[in-house]
Amino acid sequence: MIATLRQRGIRVTAQRVAVAEVLANSIDHPSAQDVYERVKLHFPHITLATVYNTLNVLSEKGFVQPLHFRGGTRYDANLLPHANLICVECGRIADASVDEDGAVANLREILTKASGFQVMGQRLDFYGSCARCSGSSASQPN
């Protein structure tokens, strides 16, 4: 992890390693507050401001992708082309790999040819009901 951060030109501190590791080990797209609470478990002295500063550095250096929503920002450590499945009922965000057959690459190519836009990255959000929420007839409250 330390080497990974150095590779990206990020000055290494204990706090930054802790934040980066929380992100790398999370698949639930945590908010800054979530990251703060998780880091604090093993690093009680860190502050929310440091978490925000670190998240901004990690975002600028391409270590995570910030996803802005109405309620605030969530952070995605999955750097591969993928779709975010956002359940409008329970609020969960799951990743779905979608580029096995080059679907995203295909889209990028279409856009470049059609409008001369040089694509450098993307964010694909799909809103709907996750299997858990739409599948259960007697839906559970969460």
Partner DNA sequence: TTTACTGCAAAGGGTTTGCATGAGG
Partner DNA sequence: CCTCATGCAAACCCTTTGCAGTAAA
Question: Which residues contribute to the site for its own copies (CB under 8 A)?
Answer: 66, 68-70, 73, 83, 85, 87-88, 94, 96, 98, 101, 103, 106-108, 110-111, 114-131, 134-135
Q: What is the rounded CA–CA span in Å between residue 2 and residue 11?
A: 9
Applying CB under 7 A, which of residues 24, 48, 111, 130 lies at the interface with DNA? 48
Query: In terms of CB distance, is 12 or 94 closer to its own copies?
Result: 94
Rounded to a whole number of angstroms, the minimum distance from the CB of residue 10 to DNA is 7
**Residue 7 in the binding site for DNA (CB under 7 A):** no
Contact of residue 122 among DNA, its own copies, none (CB under 5-8 Å per partner type): its own copies
Applying CB under 7 A, which of residues 15, 26, 78, 129 lies at the interface with DNA? 15
Q: What is the rounded CA–CA span in Å between residue 45 and residue 74?
A: 23
Question: Residue 15 belongs to what H/E stretch?
Answer: helix 14-24
3-class SS at 72?
A: strand
> Six-digit token pair at 55?
């998240």
Closest Cα partner for 56 from 23, 86, 28? 23
Check: CB of residue 43 under 8 Å from CB of residue 14.
yes
Kindly list the residues in this chain that would bind DNA in the complex (CB under 7 A). 6, 11-16, 31-33, 45-50, 52-57, 68, 70-73
